[in-house]
Amino acid sequence: MRALVQRVSEASVEVDGQIIGKIGQGLLILVCAMRDDDPAAAGKLAARAAKLRIFRDDEGRMNRALPDIAGEALVVSQFTLAADTRSGNRPGFSSAAPPDMGERLYLHFAESLRQLGVPVQTGSFGADMKVRLLNDGPVTIWLDTADRV
């Protein structure tokens, strides 16, 4: 499972002109399930995101995690994180999970964050979404469960 995590001062997601999710300080997390992922991978990725120490402490160092600052998470599905750009100019997405599986794992990821005590807002799986964010830092971190042994 893959995630692009961005530290934000605020973020929102809109579908058909309506804001369906909005957070203040916290993380915008773009999530993509891959073909070989399972609920355990989604849970592990959620725990990694929640525990990332990328928020400033009193000395200005990145030493605090999302729960430490009472931050929120906006979780948005983004299958394009599975893009294979190794050949040609058109990305391939065959390594992304099929839509039904991708949605289940995306929702499991969001629920896993909630179970860790993180307030979570979500986008709408498969919808054409407009995402707005005020990146803080900027701080952007790539997480991939395939990177862990």
Q: Which of 6, 25, 55, 80 is catalytic?
A: 80
Domain count, the chain: 1
pLDDT at 148: 58
| Rg, the chain, Cα only | 15
Q: Which of 6, 55, 79, 145 is catalytic?
A: 79
Residue span of the structural domain in which 7 resides: 2-147
What is the three-class DSSP state of 123? coil
Number of alpha carbons in the 13 Å side-chain half-sphere of residue 105: 28
CATH number for the domain that contains residue 138 = 3.50.80.10
37 forms bridges with which residues in the sheet? Answer: none
Query: What are the backbone angles phi and psi of residue 111, rounded to the nearest 5°?
Result: -65, -35
**Does the annotation count 125 as an active-site position?**
no
pLDDT at 112: 98
What's the pTM?
0.95
Asked if residue 29 lies in contact with residue 8, where contact means CB atoms within 8 angstroms, the answer is: no
**Does the annotation count 93 as an active-site position?**
no
Cβ burial, residue 147 (10 Å; 0-12/13-18/19+)? exposed
Note the pLDDT tens digit of each residue in 64-83. 999 999 999 999 999 999 99
**Does the annotation count 25 as an active-site position?**
no
Note the pLDDT tens digit of each residue in 112-142. 999 999 999 999 999 999 999 999 999 999 9
* Residue tagged 């009193």 (tokens): 58
